[in-house]
Amino acid sequence: MKLNRKIYETTLDGAPLSLEFSELGGQANGAVIARWGDSAVLAAVVMGQKDTTGDYFPLTVDYEERFYAAGKILGSRFVRREGKASDDAILSARLVDRTIRPLFDPRLRREVQMTITVLEYDGNHNPDVCALIAASAALGTSDIPWAGPVAGVETRTSSATAFFAGTKNHVNMIEFEGIETSTEDAEKIFSDSYAKIRELVAFQEKIIAKRGKPKAAVALTTPSPELANAVHAFLEPKVADAAKNKTLDELKRVTFETFTADEVPVKGSENEVEYLFETYVDEFVHREAIEHGRRVDGRALDEVRPLYAEVGTLRKTHGSAIFVRGQTQVLAVTTLGSPADEQLVETMEYSGTKRFMLHYNFPSFSTGEAKRSRGPGRREIGHGNLAWKALTNLIPPKEEFPYAIRVVAETLSSNGSSSMATTCASCLSLMDAGVPIKKLVAGIAIGLMSNDETGKYKILTDIQGPEDHYGDMDFKVAGTKDGVTAIQMDVKIGGINATMFSEALAAARAAHKTILSVMEKTLPAPRPEVSQFAPVILSMPIASEKIGLLIGPGGKTINGIIAACGGSVAIDIDESPVAEKTSKVFISGTDHAMVKKAFGIVEGIVKDYEVGQIVEGPVIKILEFGAIVDLGGGRDGMIHVSELKEGFVKQVEDVVHVGDHVRAVVVRAEDGRIALSLKRLKD
């Protein structure tokens, strides 16, 4: 059997990019292998045969990391296969999902599953780029109704790492991590990325024109004119008050009861009534904003809801803060740990440790719902990662602040952008813990109401409730007073243009000033010291060649130091060089006295002795040819009998005895052996 491969090629950022169509994955509705450089990804998409019940489009995107792609065998000693998706894989799946989802008709009720499998990773070319273009090509050439194609590109500059995605007409998804990136630089990245996106979309359009299958005829909810008129007449006098008084859910329930009951004159199915209700409220919210400049809660278009912040909420944690914006409330708690508490990260793309961690929780009570807790899902991981991006480049380096840092954000109430409230609360919590974070970081969500027919639109600051649900854009921006640290954008429409991007950034920067002023009044600078409940950490450089000496055979020396300090200290060796052939030792614990004791012992072990240096210590052993002096830290030196005093010495004990405390001068220090002299000591 021949695979009938057909390969289409172009270039991206100077590297070859190709799409391969073949018999592989032939039972899927669409399957494509994308290669960029030597990274390769298979995307296969399947659509179910029957409509599902429910009020949403059932799209699933799975991103499958394969360790073989990077030439790795990972896992535990007993399980050497991939387990549940890593956070990185979930974030990659969300990136694809957020780009392709807006281009499906929301009335579609067929299950669509996109499975992306990473086949090769060369360490240089981001598989996410391959994943998105492969997913787009698979959908575009399949019979699944979809309004693509799309493409995405990664951009790295000195002040930002960004991923922009979109269609030939708009950008519809953004992931952006900045080092206080200026507005001008962010706008340039937008325009440069969009130009590349258009080229990749044009490349796909030619392929789809040749290989694309006719789109399947799928039934979509299409209510009768009679039902549409009846529902609209019912909602018209009620929707404004319901939106203002936050009772849209109740109005929706009444609408369902009114038009799905058996005895009503004009009856519709649940899907039809759902569609008509959502469409009418959507049009109302858009019309109010675009035509009348009114928001459903009465605020001005650029108005931020009431703000409140406090620090030191919890007494025994290392740092804590609460940030409130309207009905959105987040409690953030910071914990400081030793370097041993850094998170070990083993993924297809990266092996190492993570020193700064930020975890986001979203319990059901925060939205007034009663649901079973199932642990962090894709949304929680995505929101936590966004707040992490917003803060990570402001965290001081390990050389300045050696702690492992974990922040946990608890969403206590949510009505609009808890991820940006998490950014604010986490920043204050870090400062309350004494983390010398360089600047205050604020976050805000910017919305959009647009009309495709007229081209009119309005930018909304600090979206909540109906504006979030019915609005066209969720544009989250975090930053300091000097620049942007993170952007994440999702849309429900085709996307945005460069002008909208610039206006949204400007609105966010204006809102940041308001929020930063509240945060600064709450806590203007980090605490000068860490909490009394946090561990103390002392550090010292160590010659790389002495690491084995400190550890000792089978860990005997290092474990002996810990035991000598009551087991209350931790000793960590960071072998990443701080200078040529020099590493670092960290001694930590909550008992400050024991940390100092351990530090002294370690210092004695790793200390370099130089000829001419004066030392002192007790004589611990007499030999026939000399005396051994304890120099501390498990180190000792020998005074040869000829170095005890001027002239002939018959017996060592004629000069020194065990227990004598002596001062001596170092006359030789080689290969860890130290020779001392009493007679050469100059007073």
CATH H-level, domain 6-211: superfamily = GHMP Kinase, N-terminal domain (3.30.230.70)
pLDDT for 344: 86
Judged against a pLDDT cut of 70, whether residue 579 lies above it is answered with no
Mean pLDDT score of the chain: 93
Between 97 and 679, whose confidence is greater?
A: 97
pLDDT category at 670 given cuts 50, 70, 90 is confident
pLDDT for 132: 98
pLDDT category at 182 given cuts 50, 70, 90 is very high
pLDDT category at 347 given cuts 50, 70, 90 is confident
The pLDDT tens digits of the residues spanning 468-485 come to: 999 999 999 999 999 999
pLDDT for 246: 84
β-pairing, 635-640 with 673-677?
parallel
Contact 508, 479 (CB under 8 A): yes
pLDDT for 631: 86
Extract the tokens encoding 520: 């600064």
Q: Do domains 6-211 and 307-522 have the same CATH topology?
A: yes
Judged against a pLDDT cut of 70, whether residue 578 lies above it is answered with no
The average pLDDT across 516-532 equals 96
pLDDT for 569: 92
Contact 242, 251 (CB under 8 A): yes
How are strands ordered across the β-sheet holding 570-579? 536-543, 582-589, 570-579
- What is residue 609's DSSP assignment? P
- Cis omega (within 30 of 0) on the bond before 149? yes
Q: Which of 79-93, 183-197, 301-315, 378-392 comes out lowest in average pLDDT?
A: 79-93
Q: How far apart, in whole angstroms, are the C-alpha atoms of residue 141 and residue 213?
A: 6
pLDDT category at 129 given cuts 50, 70, 90 is very high
pLDDT category at 75 given cuts 50, 70, 90 is confident
Judged against a pLDDT cut of 90, whether residue 245 lies above it is answered with no
Judged against a pLDDT cut of 80, whether residue 78 lies above it is answered with no
The average pLDDT across 246-255 equals 92
The average pLDDT across 612-632 equals 90
pLDDT for 387: 98
Judged against a pLDDT cut of 90, whether residue 603 lies above it is answered with no
pLDDT category at 546 given cuts 50, 70, 90 is confident
The average pLDDT across 12-25 equals 97
Q: Which of 101-115, 351-365, 393-407, 621-635 comes out lowest in average pLDDT?
A: 621-635
Q: How far apart, in whole angstroms, are the C-alpha atoms of residue 441 and residue 481?
A: 8
Quick one: 212 exposed, middle or buried, by C-beta within 10 A (0-12, 13-18, 19+)?
A: middle
The pLDDT tens digits of the residues spanning 259-282 come to: 988 788 888 888 899 999 999 999
pLDDT category at 34 given cuts 50, 70, 90 is very high
The architecture CATH gives domain 307-522: 2-Layer Sandwich (3.30)
The average pLDDT across 360-372 equals 90
Between 360 and 550, whose confidence is greater?
A: 360
pLDDT for 213: 96
Contacts of 346 by beta carbon, 8 Å cutoff, 6+ apart: 74
The average pLDDT across 354-362 equals 96
507-545 residues labelled b (16+ CB within 10 A) or e (exposed): bbbebbebbbebbeebbeebbeebbeebbbbbbeebeee
In CATH terms, the fold of domain 614-677 is OB fold (Dihydrolipoamide Acetyltransferase, E2P) (2.40.50)
pLDDT for 251: 94
Q: Which of 220-229, 419-428, 664-673 comes out lowest in average pLDDT?
A: 664-673
| Helix (H) or strand (E) run with residue 511 in it | helix 498-522
Q: How far apart, in whole angstroms, are the C-alpha atoms of residue 575 and residue 446?
A: 44
pLDDT for 683: 60
Which of 3.20.20.70, 3.40.50.880, 3.40.50.1820, 3.30.1370.10 is the CATH number of 536-606?
A: 3.30.1370.10
Q: How far apart, in whole angstroms, are the C-alpha atoms of residue 646 and residue 276?
A: 107
CB atoms within 10 A of CB 468: 16
User: For the chain, what percent of residues have pLDDT higher than 70?
Assistant: 99
Domain ranges for the chain: 6-211, 225-292, 307-522, 536-606, 614-677
Residue-by-residue DSSP string for 357-396 = EEEEE--GGGGT---------HHHHHHHHHHHHHHHTTSP
pLDDT for 361: 96
Nearest to 29 by CA among 145, 117, 131: 145
